[in-house]
Chain A
């Protein structure tokens, strides 16, 4: 297991370099110049050249990349074009707010999707199953930003329950509904698959009460796939955060990311891309490892 983890961690290095290469060149090969957005166009050419040199934009792109990479290894992602603050500090300031949204949303999602998925599978084709099947399809099909708008319309504009911005309740609900639907479908499918297996038939055949068959034999096995899916759904969760934070003016990393994209604030964009990519790949790795831990049938190394 240790060997496997070490190997996977080593593989992260080329993966992260690949991600940085793609995003760096996509940004820097774009026509135009970020200085044009920040600097008064009437400024003297010498002055402009000085700013460009200061930001390293006078170098060829590949040199710029190597300089960026050399600094990034030391966790120095440069300074924001707009505020002049170190990027790492800006992210450290915003990340807790994003996590404040993501972690409770994760927990809520699990607390809701597991019972619904399991009951749907056990009572397959019942009214309960049919209702939640349609609801979860609707949940997957609803555009996140529109769901946010509708909640805002309902709770803030019509009934004045909650302020439209600066409140955690609406963004949290929006984010949870967004991930809930897909995970409920997965949980149902996983439980159905387990219920069709031989050892369940055996358990029933030897006369165990249904309650024990479901909770002791089936449920434990049906929880395994959800662990992986949780890891795999991280990119979507981050993607959702970008849009949800923008709509609700939630000052987290996602909103900072969208603002930086509009401002072509290269250092901040690169910092956020690398940070979310790192969290995503680590999330996947954790999912794989915990998968092996909870399921003794899974072996990542050759058995001796």
Chain B
């Protein structure tokens, strides 16, 4: 499968490049992202590689700072989702019983919502800012992970070495985290990669609707919101941030596929 490998390498390279760009944004950005460098909208040029927006702000600088927002929201949201999903899935799968029934019914309930609707509803009630976005996306995207982890635990808890650990008096806590979890981690790693892609997409949609990261802080999503009024005169304002989101999400998918193959995860 050479093809998948080369796509994975592409993905890793792009994400590594974006992460570096995000970390070194203050050094790399040619202008202050909030500074009105020009008196009017300008197309891409040597001075402004990505052009400027309606307020004359340099779009390359704003994109670099936007990368910080998009990537950190994606990362934190997915960490929250994985922590909750793993905890619920592990306890559900290991102990079973009424707790399992309760959690799995709750997962059914959460999955029957169009999640963007739930997120929008919650966001309108909070003051939208970057931290809320991280938490709300995390809290509404753990269900898939919980199901995956539960499935893994149901399979592994019957295996002989777990029985041996139990027979030798190993406490449940240790069995769950030392004996079972590491062997159920393959699907979690894949889900984390794809989950981060999903979180980046959700953040951009939220910010696009004005319910995510708030101006003047730039995110790729709210740059797209600004672009709507200038579609005719400044199409670059709409094209560039979207391409950045597309590249990020696509690269994460490629990495996820690569991991799936490497870790032998089905599905």
**Pick from B110, B197, B228: contact of A141, CB under 8 Å:** B197
Asked if A277 lies at the interface with its beta carbon under 8 angstroms from chain B, I say yes
- Are B209 and A246 closer than 8 Å at their CB atoms? yes
Interface residues of A in 223-265 (CB under 8 A from B): 235-236, 238-239, 242-243, 246, 257-258, 261-262, 264
> Do B117 and A257 touch (CB < 8 A)?
yes
Proximity bits, A134-148, B CB within 8 Å = 1, else 0: 100110111111100
Closest to A147 in B: B242
Interface positions of B (Cβ within 8 A of A): 3, 7, 105-106, 108-118, 120-122, 124-125, 197, 201, 204-205, 208-209, 224, 227-228, 231-232, 235, 238-239, 242, 245-246, 249-250, 253-254, 257
Contacts of A257 in B (CB 8 A): 117
Question: Which A residue's beta carbon lies closest to that of B245?
Answer: A143
A168 proximal to B (CB < 8 A): no
Cα distance A149–B253 when bound, in Å?
Answer: 23
Alpha-carbon distance A276/B246, docked complex (angstroms): 28
* Chain A 4-31 interface 0/1 with B at a Cβ cutoff of 8 Å (1 = within): 0000000000110011001100110011
- What's the Cα separation between A241 and B159 when bound, in Å? 45
B-facing residues in A180-195 (Cβ within 8 Å): none
**Cβ B105 vs Cβ A243 within 8 A:** no
Q: How far is the CA of A23 from the CA of B112 in the complex (A)?
A: 12
Compute how far the CA of A272 lies from the CA of B235 in the bound complex, rounded to whole angstroms. 35
**Are B205 and A144 neighbours in the complex by a CB distance under 8 Å?**
yes
Q: Which of B7, B117, B232, B242 contacts A239 (CB 8 A)?
A: B117
The answer to whether B232 touches A157 (Cβ under 8 A) is yes
- Is A277 within 8 A of B250, CB to CB? no
> How long is the Cα–Cα vector from A262 to B120 in the complex, in angstroms?
9
> Residue among B115, B205, B245, B257 with the most chain A CB within 10 A?
B205
Which residues of A are found within 8 Å of B197, using beta-carbon distances? 141
Nearest-neighbor residue (CB-CB) of A30 within chain B: B125
What are 19 sample pairs from A and B whose C-beta atoms fall under 8 A apart?
Answer: A15-B105, A15-B108, A15-B109, A18-B106, A18-B109, A19-B112, A22-B109, A23-B118, A141-B201, A141-B249, A142-B246, A143-B204, A145-B224, A149-B242, A235-B113, A238-B114, A238-B117, A264-B124, A277-B113
CB distance from A233 to the nearest CB of B (A): 11
Residues of chain B lying within 8 A (CB to CB) of residue A15: 105, 108-109, 112
A202 lies within 8 A of chain B by Cβ:
no
Contacts of A152 in B (CB 8 A): 231
Nearest opposing residue in chain A for B233, CB measure: A157
- CB of B6 to closest CB in A, whole Å: 11
**Least CB distance, A241 to chain B, in whole angstroms:** 8
Distance in angstroms from A57 CB to nearest chain B CB is 15
With A15-B112, A149-B224, A150-B242 already in contact, the answer to whether A262 and B124 are too (CB < 8 A) is yes
Give Cα distance in the complex from A246 to B120, angstroms: 13
Q: Is the CB of A138 within 8 A of B121?
A: no
Contact A235–B245 (Cβ < 8 Å): no
B227-A23 in contact (CB<8A): no
**Nearest 10 interchain pairs by C-beta:** A30-B125, A146-B242, A141-B249, A141-B250, A18-B109, A239-B114, A238-B114, A239-B116, A277-B112, A235-B114
Is there contact, CB below 8 Å, between A23 and B121? Answer: yes
Q: Closest chain A residue to B238 by CB distance? A: A149
B117 touches A242 (CB 8 A): yes
Bound form: Cα–Cα A144–B224 in Å:
12
- Report A254-297 CB contacts with B as 1/0, cut-off 8 Å: 00011001101000010011001100110000000000000000
Q: Is the CB of B113 within 8 A of A143?
A: no
Q: Closest CB of chain A to B155's CB: distance in Å?
A: 20
On whether the beta carbons of A242 and B228 are closer than 8 Å, the reply is: no
**Complex Cα spacing A242 to B208, Å:** 13
B34 CB to nearest A CB, Å: 24
Contact A140 B120 (CB under 8 A): no
Contact indicator B118/A26 (Cβ below 8 Å): yes
* Shortest CB distance B3–A (Å): 6
B232 CB, min distance to chain A CBs, angstroms: 5
Shortest distance in angstroms between B23's beta carbon and chain A's nearest beta carbon? 23
Residue of chain A at shortest CB distance from B267: A189
The residue on B at minimum CB distance from A27 is B121
